[in-house]
A and B are shown apart, each in its own frame.
Chain A
Amino acid sequence: MASTFGLLNSAYSGLAAARAALEVTGQNVANVNTPGYTRQRVDLASLPGVDKSSLFTTGLNIGTGVQITGISRISDSLIDARVRDTASSSGYWTAASTALSVVENGLGEPGDTGLSASLTQFSNAWQTMANTAGNSTTGPAAASALLGSAQALADRIASGYSTASKAWSTARSSAEASVDQVNRTGVQIAALNDQILRIAATGGNANELIDQRGAAINALSAATGATTRENANGTVDVLIGGSTFVSGTSARTLQLTGAAAAPFTATGLRFSAGAAVQADGGSLAAQLSTLAPEGVYSQAANAYSAVATQLATDVNAVHRQGAIADGTTGHDFFALDASKPAAIGLSVVPTSQSGIAAGKPGAGSGDGSIADAISQLGSKAGGVDRGWAAYVAGVGAQTKAATTQADVAATASSAAQSAQTSQSGVDLDEETANLVVFQHAYQGAARVLTAIDEMLDTLINRTGLVGR
């Protein structure tokens, strides 16, 4: 049987447990909107009665109160893994569709600012040239209109190319920033691992640090598709593309490979002193794939260059057959600068009507058959217009697919997050109810204490006073 004063201790343990529970509830309420916070709960266990102190001790053995066994985080590692996985996929597709949207909006199609409008204007200008061939009044005007539209076309192609090249550079520096961010997060995770390890060694409670680490790992997964491996000592290793990025309390550093100054060069990822890494998901993987030589930016640039090359080849082939003002043939209309990409190097050769070959040699200056033939080049099967339209439709289809994928991935990600919030998020109603419950528990324990106090008072102060 417990001692007379043992009861006081039981009551006190109840008070302490209720207070601890109220404190944890307070912590939960305080962190109701803290990102990554996992709700906590006080784990209580009843204390068994004191072991029989001697062989002859008799009577009931009543428990001696309550003890706090720990403060647990209510999380589900399966859901956490799903959140990371979906965040990585959502990060990838969002970045991919953003890159495609940039390219797509830069095209200005279908509309009056697109390349196809410039191509049509160019063709029509040749038609007008054919109509006014040999006409001294309207001919020069048509020729300058043609040269103007040819220059505008070359400018449009060059500006399209440089838009793609600028977009590549922007994406390159944004990938650089992403890698910096990833490195910082890696250092942060390693530091948190270290703190958690030390707190765990002293038997402390590292719940808040674990939450912070979880949020950091989520960010890392969204960026690189990182996966984790839990260690027995409470630390977590982070792997990117199967290679260890954070190992316990140390983190490695990633960096980009490839020349930043030269657009469309292959860009990869590797450890600062070590092998190449392939990010297998996340926004960084998408950014790297758009930067690749077969990525969207370089596809766009190649499409403009292909238009420039084909335009120069097709138009020149016909133009060479025609005679310019001095009767000679074999003159080019477009020139390509071999030292530059075709889209930038395209220029118009004639500077005035005298350099334009509108007609066949010997047919008289009124002949516009060459101009007419050039005007029909673009819209022919295999012509520039058709090729360009196919590219535009291709970009549209890619963008649409990526946007749909991004939507699906975002829905999956938000469903996983919702499941996580449902599991680990703080619910104010519940906390309020807990507050009431633990308040009452505290009051109850205090009442027990008062009852014992009164009982002892009776025993000590009023015993032996009979008949006074």
Chain B
Amino acid sequence: MSAIGRVTGQQLYSSSQTSINAARLRLSALQEQASSGLVINRPSDDPTGTATVLRLRGELAANTQYGTNMADGLSWLRTADSAFSTSTDLVRKASDLTVQAANAGTSSPAAREAIATQLVSIKQDLLAQANTTYLGRSVFAGTSDAATAFNADGTVNSTVTAGSGLVQRRISATETVAVSADGAAAFGTVVKDPATGAVTSDTSVFSSLDKVIAALRSPDWGTDLSATGPQAAITGGITAMQTARNALTTQQAVVGTAYARVEAAQSRNSDAAVQLEKQRSGIQDADTASVLLNLKTQELAYQTSLQVTAQVLQPTLMNFLK
């Protein structure tokens, strides 16, 4: 507006046009917010907000992935845990039978053979447990792709021993959890000298069972009472069973701890998902009520400016000169 205060029709027209345009622009911006439900539709709507939203979206996607990882990890751990429970039961049964063999019922070779047969079947069951698989992968074979963790003689499959670690699952940006169990620590190993093939160390529960079975079937039963005789082997077997049970329980505890850790992480993860979504929504999502209210206000302003313009721009002096 000039200082002279001269207002021309064209000036009125162009300023009305500018105001109507501006009102329409605000209306379209609000309409975009209302229809997309977002306040940040492009980076320039809020540059800092955009940076945050991008980070949050990335974290949300990673969070979802960690959720999948954890569900998968829990399945692994559950499989290992149930294998451990069954194995502990089997070893206890074997232990009971060994004690039974040491005490009564061993008078006749037939009674000893009955116990030996049971132990053979327990050993087979135990081997099956030690080779438990989850989705085609042996849970005690670590990162090795061996189909079975343990051979029939109780030795650990050579590909497993070749330095493979435990299977890891990422549960957050900073943590990974081992979801497979250490089969060698749980079931024991037979280590042979690669050159001679001689056994250098033997902690295997399978070879302990084999020794007990061999002692029960030994023809020297009752005659050879020396430290290397069958009865002594049975006594040794009892101790070995105990040790094996302890090893299994220890490893089951490790798996249980990991399970608890993943479960805790899972609940943290879902909390974090809610939090992240809330943060993202707080920055990026439009507040429907306020957007609608603004939209109504702008609509009114727009319609008013149209009305007023239509009313004001029509008359000139000519309408009144007769």
Which A residues form the contact surface with B (CB < 8 A)? 32-33, 100-101, 104-105, 107, 109-110, 116-117, 119-121, 123-124, 127-128, 130-131, 133-138, 359, 362-369, 372, 375-376, 378-379, 385-386, 388-390, 392-400, 403, 414, 417-419, 421-423, 425-430, 432-433, 436
Contact = CB atoms under 8 A, between A and B. Distances in A.
Contact of A393 (B47, B65, B163, B316): B47
B6 A423 contact: yes
B284 A110 contact: yes
B124 interface: no
B51 interface: yes
Contact of B135 (A138, A390, A393): A138
Given A135-B135, A365-B145, A432 B168 contact: no
Contacts of B159: 364
- List 6 tightest A-B contacts by C-beta distance, closest first: A396-B43, A396-B47, A364-B144, A399-B44, A367-B143, A393-B51
Nearest to B146: A364
B72 A131 contact: yes
B43 A110 contact: yes
B196 interface: no
A419 B3 CA distance: 9
A293 to B, nearest CB: 23
Given A366-B144, A418-B14, A432-B321, A427 B8 contact: yes
B62 A134 contact: no
Contact of A362 (B43, B62, B163): B163
Interface in B8-64: 8-11, 14-15, 18, 40, 42-48, 50-51, 53-55, 57-59, 61-62, 64
B58 A120 contact: yes
B68 A131 contact: yes
15 contacts: A32-B10, A109-B54, A116-B58, A117-B57, A134-B145, A363-B165, A364-B146, A366-B145, A367-B143, A418-B11, A425-B9, A427-B9, A428-B9, A429-B9, A432-B317
Given A33-B10, A379-B173, A363 B50 contact: no
Contacts of A396: 42-47, 50
Nearest to A130: B170
Interface of B: 1-2, 4, 6-11, 14-15, 18, 40, 42-48, 50-51, 53-55, 57-59, 61-62, 64-65, 68-69, 72, 135-137, 141-146, 159-160, 162-165, 167-170, 173, 176, 284, 316-318, 321
A389 B56 CA distance: 11
A34 B201 CA distance: 106
Please classify the interface of chain A as helix (H, G, I), strand (E, B), loop, or mixed, using the class held by over half of its residues. Answer: helix
A421 B8 contact: yes
A134 B159 CA distance: 13
A363 B173 contact: no
Most chain A C-beta atoms within 10 Å of own C-beta, residue among B55, B159, B164, B318: B164
Most chain A C-beta atoms within 10 Å of own C-beta, residue among B1, B2, B50, B55: B50
Contacts of A386: 55
Contacts of A369: 165, 168
A121 B162 CA distance: 34
A128 to B, nearest CB: 7
